[in-house]
Chains A and B, each alone.
Chain A
Amino acid sequence: MTSRKYQITIIDTGEKYWCREGEHLLQGMLSLGKKGIPSGCHGGGCGVCKIQVQKGKGLYRNKSMSRAHISEKDELKNIVLACRTFPEGDIELTVVGGIKKSVMRSAGTFSFNYSTAKDK
């Protein structure tokens, strides 16, 4: 039995990868050794893999995602967590979580580079 596979495009980086039926968007990306979307808990709880589906709206289904990270308004704007998003067609997306996280990192999130930052 052959399973369907869908082409996923990360617009930010131009990377493309395949996602098999039943795989979430992060699984497909990681199994191909790609790194465009930040990978966290894979359970819809931590919110780092936040993305926005730009093309292919309606061509995916979601499992439960923490309301601390994805509001009902977000869902209407196709903002979802990649680890809870299962494609049912080709999808083009942009990364939302990654930008937020890199800003937080420079602000000293558990990074312990406080004195380094201070010296600058």
Chain B
Amino acid sequence: MSVMKIGHVNLRVLDMEASRNHYENVLGLIVTDEDEDGNLYLKGWDEWEKYSVILTPSDQAGMDHIAYKVENDSDLDSYAKAIRDYGIEVEELAAGALVDCGRAIRFQLPSSHTMCLYAEKTFVGKATGDTNPAPWPIDVKGVGVHWLDHCLLICPLDPEKGVNTIAENATFLSKCLGFRLTEQALVGPDADVQAVAFLTVTNTPHDIAFVPGPTAGFHHASFFLSGWGDILKAADIMAMNEVKMDVMPTRHGITRGETIYFFDPSGNRNETFAGLGYLATPDMPVITWTEDQIPRGIFYHSGELNPAFTEVYT
């Protein structure tokens, strides 16, 4: 029994036509479906399930839900029980309630974000196939991101009122769903407030992460690229398309990832994240960042936090 990987993120968008152009032609995701409610389903060329991104037309930006895939159908029952025993309500969804997925469960993280677990989603295959594949598809569009890598969520933190939904999320995901803490930042006079938490279920540095804010929100969805050269080219393509970037190519201290941050046409932040960082096996010691070094952890080169990066979210 295990949570295997991130499955998809459902983002709300204000302008579907502009969003479709951004995710399809700039990021290079492949549109696999569109439904009568106007939802658009997309996948990266290196992904094999039908979609990893759902765009939903809305009058507000932000994240509707995030979904992870479990290994076996029976895991859904085991996890539902574990989550209920932990004291969190679980809603059981029939097959098809998550489009093109088998049955699923839905619940809220302590931070109030909605998470789903599913075991099956329609298979469509990688764009390069699975027999003697080319290293990348020749007809890939735009930046050509490989896959949805992780999401970062903004979670309420107010230590003076005893509110820390970052730590609550991290504890819940570790105890109930088998996520493992890879990196954290500890702040406060006694360095005992977990203000940043990065967790994995695979061997990559993070499959989900939490940072603090005054209200729950969506900070970014990140898409994988191979390396630094791809990051430079991605930034060129974004500039050619007049995409609003808020962090130019640099490296994170936390995760060691190579990065660009930018916005979709509704203001939902995206990231292109390159490099595998490190191998996060279950026996890896947790990495801790001290409060004074958090800016270095976030932007390794400048060592300075950019107010727009930390305060702007949907």
Contact = CB atoms under 8 A, between A and B. Distances in A.
Interface stretch (B138-146, B226-234, B263-271): B263-271
A97 to B, nearest CB: 10
Contacts of B263: 41-43, 45
Contact of B266 (A40, A43, A105, A109): A43
A3 B157 CA distance: 48
Interface string A96-114: 0000010011011111101
A105 to B, nearest CB: 7
Size class of the B contact interface (CB-based, 8 Å): 35 or more
A48 B309 CA distance: 12
A67 interface: yes
Interface centre among A43, A107, A118 (most CB of B within 10 A): A43
B188 A118 contact: yes
Interface stretch (A4-12, A13-21, A58-66, A85-93): A58-66
| Chain A residues touching B, range | 20 to 34
B214 A114 contact: no
B291 A114 contact: yes
Given A45-B62, A109-B212, 17 more contacts: A38-B308, A41-B314, A42-B263, A43-B264, A45-B263, A45-B268, A48-B308, A64-B59, A65-B14, A66-B314, A107-B214, A108-B212, A110-B311, A112-B187, A112-B195, A115-B187, A119-B189
Interface of B: 14-15, 59-62, 154, 157-159, 185, 187-189, 193, 195, 211-214, 244, 246, 263-269, 291, 294, 305, 307-308, 310-314
